[in-house]
Amino acid sequence: MFEATETFAKKLDEQDSLSKFKNEFYIKDNQIYMDGNSLGLMSKRAEEKLLNVMNAWKEFGIDGWTSGDHPWFYLSENLGEKVAKLVGAKPEEVVVTGSTTTNLHQLVATFFKPEGKRTKILADELNFPSDIYALKSQLKLHGLDPDEHLIRVKSRDGRTIHEDDIIEAMTDEVALIVLPTVLYRSGQLLDLKRVTQAANEKGIPIGWDGCHSVGAIPHDFHKIGADFAYWCHYKYMNNGPGGVAGLFVHEKHFGVEPGLSGWFGSDKQKQFDMEHDFTPADTAGAFQIGTPHVLSVAPLIGSLELFEEAGMDRLREKSLKATAYLMYLVEELLSDYNFTIGNPREDAHRGGHVCLEHKEAASICKALKDHGIIPDFRSPNVIRLAPVAFYVSFQDVYQTVLTIKKIMDDESYKTYKNERGIIA
């Protein structure tokens, strides 16, 4: 299927219907950016829309809340309608708001109702630390000991989580389930439909952390019956550092009062009545807490234009092909250097990045950066490489593996300390 030659990589690029989008992004000369699963690159559209919103502030002042191309008062809901298409939700089920951890706190505060012997939260031991911190703190707020009431499904191999083990852990003591769609280290994509269906059958509310999948993988949160989901927009969605996040709440929960009420979660027709009794919106907008971070959400307006033009299915198709090509090249060209591919091989279980394991991973990442390749290191031994469909070409993938081979051949990676920097 593949060939380990530059000619073949060029052929793949010639066949790539998404190749034109690379010109939409700011990419440094002589640099290959393989870290879009941590922070996506800035697009020209994102920059344009940010300047547009800033100009509205300059031109309209406070009237920018209801005037201009993108009135701020309705911005979170309007963008939610557009993001809903990417995550398989109804327009009213998604709102762009908060940060991922703030949204998780909001959703757990709403859906975690410990009662009787149902007092436990089910998660997994490979999840991103921030989620675990939030779950532990929510348990403490209920006077529950996290050591006893937070269940973390064990990994059989240190890389992946078996869905069978998750379902087995859904006992009658579990009051809430929170899991990642894609594991941040290994890139494993869980079977969301199967796990959600099992939770629904047992009457346990379930929510998904989509940080490492939204923008790279099509979802169908409404159809599979997820109770809620939350995600960031600064990775595959290219909304910029600290960009405003998003959340989904299934329409079956509309009317449930949020665990954490805030002014911007009000029914918009009553918000400025200034009453001290909270009247929540009858959509996912009810789960907003604070005023929209307008300047931090503005780049998403431009980014979403690109998603509409490219199409989520085409982006996923290219992502799968690029990660498959990357794995092929690793096996063909790096077989002598003790690399292990730590992510699932099957398309149905693979996210948007490739997980390379090596005992000298930190050193190799530093060497790659000095050769113009931007990877991502995760302790203790993982090199994450994300060939993001918008701006990474197949020739970029080929050159990345060639560069790894070069620094392994000449052992130049040994000149770097094998320890992470402050930010890895």
Residue 187 token pair: 């890139």
Q: Tell which residue, 203, 208, 225, has the closest CA to residue 118.
A: 203
Buried b (16+ CB within 10 A) or exposed e, 252-287: ebeeeebbbbbebbbeeeeeeeeeeeeebbebbbbb
Within 13 Å, how many C-alpha atoms sit on residue 315's CB side? Answer: 26
Angle at 205 between CA 202 and CA 206, to 5 degrees: 105
Q: State the DSSP code for 115.
A: B
Q: Is 208 annotated as a binding residue?
A: no
Number of CB atoms found within 10 A of residue 159's CB: 19
Q: Does 157 count as an annotated binding residue?
A: no
185 burial via Cβ count (<10 Å: 0-12, 13-18, 19+): buried
| Sign of the CA dihedral running 405, 408, 409, 412 | positive
188 Cβ contact list (under 8 Å, min separation 6): 159, 160, 161, 182, 343, 344, 349, 350, 351
- Residue 263 marked in a binding site: yes
SS3 state of residue 409: helix
Buried b (16+ CB within 10 A) or exposed e, 28-48: eeeebbbbbbbbbbbbebbee
Q: Is residue 371 marked as binding?
A: no
Spatial separation of the C-alpha atoms in residues 184 and 227, rounded to whole Å? 22
128 SS3 class? coil
Residue 248's CB: how many other CB atoms inside 10 A? Answer: 31
Tell me if 391 is assigned to a ligand binding site: no
| 403 assigned binding-site residue | no
Among candidate residues 129, 107, 126, 30, the one with its CA nearest the CA of residue 374? 30
Q: Is 101 labelled a binding residue?
A: yes
Q: What residues pair up with 189 in beta bridges, in sequence order? A: 182
Length of the chain: 424
Return the number of other C-beta atoms located less than 10 Å from residue 14's C-beta.
9
Per the annotation, binding residues for pyridoxal 5'-phosphate are 100-101, 128-131, 209, 212, 234, 263, 291
Per the annotation, binding residues are 100-101, 128-131, 209, 212, 234, 263, 291
